[in-house]
Amino acid sequence: MTSPDKLQTVVTDSAEEAAAFIRSGGLTAFPTETVYGLGANVFDAGAVAAIFAAKNRPADNPLIVHVARIDQIRELAAEITDAAQRLIEAFFPGPLTVVLRRSARVPDIATARLDSIGIRMPRHPLAHEFLTACDTPVAAPSANISGRPSPTTWQAVLEDLDGRIDCILKGEATEIGLESTVVDCLGDMPILLRQGAISVEELRTVSPMLRMADTASDGAVRSPGLRHRHYSPRASIIIVTDVDGDTREPSTAFIGVSRVDKDRFDAVRICDSVEHYARSVFEFFRECDRRGIQTILCEAVPPSGIGAALMDRLRRAAEK
């Protein structure tokens, strides 16, 4: 793939300045409560193509489209199913993406030629201000080079995309730190495609019929992004349950909630809670890469609430 021309990447804390780039066909990264996204006007096929080029993203991986207002969903979806309606009422704005049949107005490139579209309304105040100023729905994958850990700080966006995008809207480190929950709402029975901060337990309070995608078959087919290698630092990831176990090799790091002996590792992140662990993990992976760490031991957590999403990301990062 040819690399895009070198751009001057503007870093700003003005939502209006950041949105002006979107309105004129450019690319702006912006914070949400999950991770930073890399946005373009979804109705501008050239701008959406530039997202794929900037990230080196495979063309078969569809983008999530972000809205500031509920009524914008009608510009994107051909039909809002009852299942979607219930989830939207319960969880928008928030860290949830619903997949619906797409409207003919959406360019093919944004949805990787699928006849469906992922839609999300972030609850982050700066994201809301930015999306309002864009005055159009904004297609935005996570603002990292494909395959790298998702960015949870504006500095991580700059690390991956400096000179490849027009603008970064600078906010705080993101609150959740893992990407949104993705639910296929095309049929009567919603299907969980990607775990996230809205847990299965919470989804089932609204949609008792919700089932998990069978990752071996329909997960990969319905959500092509899940097929690709993800969230990976250069270091190898090993998931551990017994943190006091064997002796460690040199150049090893640890992240988890147990109070390990810091002297045993070259880099350590002890988190106060599973939420804190989820918020810290991608940035810790990046820090380990900057320091040349070779192996990262990641402590397993109980797979409930955000713990399920965290374990999903750790497993994917550990895949070779």
Q: By the criterion CB under 5 A, which residues form the site for Mg ion?
A: 142
Longest CA–CA span in the chain (Å) reads 58
- Residue 174 contacts ligand TXA per CB under 6 A: no
Residue 281 CB, nearest distance to Mg ion (Å)?
Answer: 14
Q: Whose Cβ is closer to ligand TXA: residue 112's or residue 240's?
A: 112
Of 313, 284, 288, the residue nearest 300 (C-alpha): 313
The SS3 of residue 286 is helix
DSSP lists the bridge partners of residue 167 as 10, 28
Residue spans of beta strands (DSSP E) within the chain: 10-12, 28-30, 37-41, 64-66, 96-101, 116-120, 138-139, 167-169, 181-184, 191-194, 211-212, 236-240, 252-256, 267-270, 295-299
| Residue 37 binds to ligand TXA (criterion: CB under 6 A) | yes
Q: Which stretch binds ligand TXA (CB under 6 A): 9-17, 27-35, 269-277, 311-319?
A: 27-35
Which stretch, 154-162, 213-221, 222-230, 302-310, contacts ligand TXA (CB under 6 A)?
222-230
Name the minimum Å distance from CB 158 to ligand TXA.
Answer: 16
- Min separation Cβ 20 and Mg ion, Å: 25
Q: Looking at 58, 107, 147, 224, which residue binds ligand TXA (CB under 6 A)?
A: 224
Q: Nearer to ligand TXA by C-beta: 26 or 141?
A: 141
Q: Site for ligand TXA (CB under 6 A): which residue of 193, 213, 253, 301?
A: 193
Q: Would you count residue 116 as binding ligand TXA (CB under 6 A)? A: yes
Decide which of Mg ion, ligand TXA, none touches 207; Cβ closer than 5 to 8 Å per partner kind. none
CA 118 to chain centre: 12
- When asked if residue 267 is in the footprint of ligand TXA (CB under 6 A), the reply is no
CA distance 51 to 29: 10
Q: What part of residues 67-106 is at the interface with ligand TXA (CB under 6 A)? A: 97, 99
Nearer to ligand TXA, 112 or 257 (CB): 112
Query: Is residue 165 a contact point for ligand TXA (CB under 6 A)?
Result: no
Residue 296 near residue 237, CB atoms below 8 Å: yes
- Write down the least CB distance from residue 196 to ligand TXA, Å: 7
If the CB atoms of residues 114 and 243 are measured against ligand TXA, the closer one turns out to be: 114
Pairing mode of beta strands 96-101, 116-120: antiparallel
CA distances from 290 to 3, 88, 111, 210, 216 (A): 23, 39, 34, 41, 34
Q: For residue 137, is the peptide bond before it cis, meaning its omega torsion is within 30 degrees of 0?
A: no
C-alpha span between 223 and 285 (Å, rounded): 25
Neighbours of 214 (CB within 10 A): 12
Q: Does 303 bind ligand TXA (CB under 6 A)?
A: no
Could you count the other beta carbons within 10 Å of the beta carbon of residue 283? 20
Residue 12 engages ligand TXA in binding (rule: CB under 6 A): no
Binding residues for ligand TXA, rule: CB under 6 A, are: 32, 34-35, 37, 61-64, 97, 99, 111, 114, 116-118, 120, 140-142, 179-180, 182, 193-194, 222-226
